[in-house]
């Protein structure tokens, strides 16, 4: 026999399944992209993404972006700046309702759509013209995680 829940109990049961987390993808090697996957039995609502990109002295106009896929097909792609030149370190922040912020003391920002990602979805950097010594660091993805197990 199944238990019947009052609306208050249902709300409490739903809340017990929600946590807010800082996801720290594995730091990539120089010249490589970072990536993370939504784990099984989880749903992530993306609240913000923050990362640093230090570019090498090699001349190129890198275009750093964050890509969201369902594991196969692209859902969205977002970026903070049109390009990042050689020998610079920028601190990038993407979040909903953030306007495009041009460079202010090494900080840049941009909007992301409201995204809710199912298990198996992939979040990763995709950088046009990335160079062998370019380095991503301090990547943090802030999520609202819902346990669906």
If we measure between CA atoms, which residue out of 38, 34, 22 comes closest to residue 127? 34
The domain in which residue 126 lies consists of 19-147
Q: How many domains does the chain have?
A: 1
Question: CATH code at 124?
Answer: 2.60.120
Does 87 fall in a domain?
Answer: yes
Does 41 fall in a domain?
Answer: yes
Per-residue model confidence as pLDDT tens for the chain (149 residues): 445 545 555 565 666 789 999 999 999 999 999 999 999 999 999 999 999 999 999 999 999 999 999 999 999 999 888 889 999 999 999 999 887 777 777 889 899 999 999 999 999 999 999 999 999 999 999 999 999 87
Predicted pLDDT of residue 80: 87
Does 6 fall in a domain?
Answer: no
Does 75 fall in a domain?
Answer: yes
Report the run of H or E that residue 123 belongs to, with start and end. strand 122-128
Predicted pLDDT of residue 13: 61
Cβ–Cβ under 8 Å, residues 114 and 75: no
Predicted pLDDT of residue 1: 44
In this structure, are strands 101-104 and 107-110 parallel, antiparallel, or unpaired? antiparallel
């Amino acid at each position: 026999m199944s238990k019947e829940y009052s609306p208050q109990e249902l709300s409490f049961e739903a809340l017990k399944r929600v946590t807010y987390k800082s996801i720290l993808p594995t730091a990539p090697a120089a010249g490589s992209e970072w990536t993370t996957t939504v784990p099984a039995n989880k749903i992530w609502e993306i609240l913000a993404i923050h990362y640093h990109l230090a570019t090498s002295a090699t001349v190129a106009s890198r275009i750093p972006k964050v890509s969201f896929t369902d594991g196969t097909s692209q859902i969205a792609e977002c970026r903070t700046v049109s390009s990042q030149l050689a020998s610079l370190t920028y601190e990038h922040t993407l979040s909903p309702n953030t306007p495009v912020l041009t460079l202010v003391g090494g900080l840049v920002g941009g909007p992301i759509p409201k995204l809710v990602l199912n298990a198996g979805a992939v979040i990763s950097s995709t950088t046009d013209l990335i160079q062998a010594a370019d380095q991503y660091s301090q990547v943090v993805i802030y999520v609202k995680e819902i346990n669906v197990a």
